[in-house]
Chains A and B, each alone.
Chain A
Amino acid sequence: MSAITAPSLALARPHAPLGTEGGAPRVSKDEAGVFESMLGQAVANANSQGQAASAAGEAFAAGSLDDIHGTMLALSKADIELRYVGAVRNKIVDAFYELWRMQV
């Protein structure tokens, strides 16, 4: 693998890196922020579900909430949301590494 990588890297070096114009990256701020906003939104969702679950758990433990299935449902929602965020994060990181390993 490295035998193939090295010459292609050497070939790529003399040329200007792709996607640059006068040294500045052509990728706009909006495009660069896609991963960030995706992950940010997923984390925010998971966080709000987690807080709801935490509040429901506290209220149930304190005895002010007489709703077992509501509490369990809040916990389940938080669990699913967290798994979802984990899956999204893994996908994003995979995509990032895919780009990272890309030969230029």
Chain B
Amino acid sequence: MLGVFSAMDVAASGLSAERTRMNTIAANMANARTTRTAAGGPYRRIDPVFEAVLLDRGGLRGSAGVSEVRVARIVEDSRPGQMVYEPGHPDANAQGYVEYPNVNAVEEMVNMITASRAYEAGVTSIDTIKQMARSAIDIGRG
């Protein structure tokens, strides 16, 4: 198979990873005020952990040392949640405080912009790979 396609697959792995990040951000935003979870307690914000996976294409020229990105796992943020005094809330503790998730909307917005820009960068690299392949094909023309 052509080497350009392995470059495309590497870029595609980045797109998949950024999409996973976007999923976690959407989940964090959606659950910004969730006080009940299956595990008990308030929602904890989640973050994906990315890892590099060496691309093994049977010694294909130009692919040595090139790594794809993969989501290793999704971890919970251990930071404490926000304690808000709401005695009337059904999930309030004995002191009348409700623990809200440790989600910070501003932080999530920043992460969202980062994910969006990283995705765009991945798409740009795919476009460039396509352009390069087309230019290479044009060598044969004429």
Residues of chain A having any CB pair with chain B under 8 Å: 45, 67, 69-70, 73, 76-77, 80-81, 83-84, 87-88, 90-91
| Cβ B140 vs Cβ A87 within 8 A | yes
Count of chain A to chain B residue pairs whose CB atoms are closer than 8 Å in the complex: 38
CB-CB under 8 A for A83 and B134, given A45-B1, A70-B12, A90-B140: yes
B137 at the interface (CB under 8 A from A): yes
Stretch at the interface among B2-10, B60-68, B77-85, B88-96: B2-10
Instruction: Provide the residues of chain B in CB contact with A67, threshold 8 Å.
Output: 16
Determine which of B12, B19, B126, B137 lies in contact with A84 in the assembled complex, contact meaning CB atoms within 8 Å. Answer: B137
Query: A90 and B133 in contact (CB under 8 A), knowing A45-B1, A70-B12, A73-B126?
Result: no
**With A76-B130, A80-B2, A80-B134 given, can you name 9 additional A-B contacts, CB distance below 8 Å?**
A45-B1, A69-B19, A70-B16, A76-B126, A80-B4, A80-B133, A81-B2, A84-B137, A87-B140
Per the 8 Å Cβ criterion, residues 1-49 of B in contact with A are 1-2, 4-5, 8, 12, 15-16, 19
Residues of A within 8 Å of B8, CB to CB, are 73, 76-77
Listed from nearest, the 9 A-B pairs whose CB atoms lie closest are A87-B140, A69-B15, A87-B137, A80-B133, A83-B137, A73-B12, A91-B140, A84-B137, A77-B5
With the chains together, A67 CA to B86 CA distance in Å?
Answer: 43
24 A-B residue pairs with CB within 8 Å: A45-B1, A69-B12, A69-B15, A69-B19, A69-B123, A70-B12, A73-B8, A73-B12, A73-B126, A76-B8, A76-B126, A76-B130, A80-B2, A80-B130, A80-B137, A81-B2, A83-B134, A84-B2, A84-B133, A84-B137, A87-B137, A87-B140, A90-B141, A91-B140
Nearest CB of A to B139, in Å? 9
Return the contact of A69 from the options B1, B16, B137, B141 (Cβ within 8 A). B16
Of all chain B residues, which has the CB nearest A67?
B16
Residue of B nearest to A88 (CB): B140
